Structure 1
Amino acid sequence: MALLLAAILLTACSNSPPPPPSPTPDTRPLGDVTADPKECGLISKQSIERATGLSDFTVKKYMSDNGKHLESCYIYTKPRNESGYRLKIEIDDPSPLPLSQIAGSKASRNGVDLPADAGPGFTFTIVEFGVNYGADGWAWARDGSRMLSVTLAETPSNRDPQKDAAEFIRQLRPIVLDPIGATRTGASTRSSRPA
């Protein structure tokens, strides 16, 4: 009887399913991040879906200067849950950090410079409780007056959130930070933003 029980247990243990395979890396480019259809009047729905892995999401945007300029765009799961946003794009005018403090911020976060064609800025991994949670990218206008940040959180495990943040910045920079003939200056009317 004991021999039969041992044989059953051995068979049960040896027939356990193999662990699930690692997801195949999704190396598809984000594409034109400002193509139609857009969310928040600026960001391509397709690039949001690709970077976040969400096909159905909730959008919340905040405007400044009496509704003239996008201040921030948040993408949440639908229905929205407590885990927070999956993508956040913020345009700070004026920049919250002087250029003299940005180098220290980069060093303290183990930041990686943006590719040369993306202009000045860096990306870094967000770590919470010892686990990689996503990535953040910071860029600033060449004169230091404005700052763009792109945060990706709880991204699909087969995407590279730092590369995606850098690509959003590369394509958004000429629109929101260094537009040709830019005349936007001064402080903006701030609205409260979610955490």
Structure 2
Amino acid sequence: MNSAVDPLAQLTEIRAIMERSSRYLSLSGLSGIAAGVVALVGVGVGYWYVGREYGSTQDFVRVMQSSEGERLRALPFLLGLTGSIILLALSAAYYFTRRRARHDKVQLWSPLGRRLALSLAIPLAAGGLFCLAIYLQGAAGLVVPGMLLFYGLALLNASKYTLEEIRWLGLTEIGLGLVAVLFPGYGLLSFALGFGLSHIIYGLLMYRRYERTARSL
């Protein structure tokens, strides 16, 4: 009887098992696309608000740094808008990720999933408080760059638990945040590129690579 075993095949199988056990692979590209669309809608609402309140959307820094009183007056709307974007994006991410987890027959809220969520939550919470502080201190032009940088760091921190594309998305957000520091007057455009367009592009790539292929099998 031939008992020879292909060592390369064994190593490939072991690697696949280790990959499944150490990385959360059920993230859905559709959740990224949905988050990007939500962010773009939020940018549209932001443009409408700035235009209505200040009569101009061209000089983002000027209209957001005019005075402490005006910054405080705008704060409830901005917090509400940001909270709504986060809530809708998280709801979409939960829905599409749960649907893919069911398709893959894996547990959604596993210990690995909890580690992934925690690795995202800590930098995001710290970044949110930091951006709120610099807004109240008058550096409103640095809020969007700060959001992009902390979000990119959160993705980079979480990428060790999930798909490789998340690391590249994190690096993209960090790069956009650094560029946005140099052009603070284009805060809404930077937000649209970082949280809108980037999410849509990476979501499409992830969907085509992992989900569309799996569903066609």
TM-score by length of 1: 0.30
Please identify which structure carries the higher strand content.
1
Q: Determine which structure has more spread, i.e. the larger CA radius of gyration.
A: 1
Please identify which structure carries the higher helix content.
2
TM-score by length of 2: 0.28
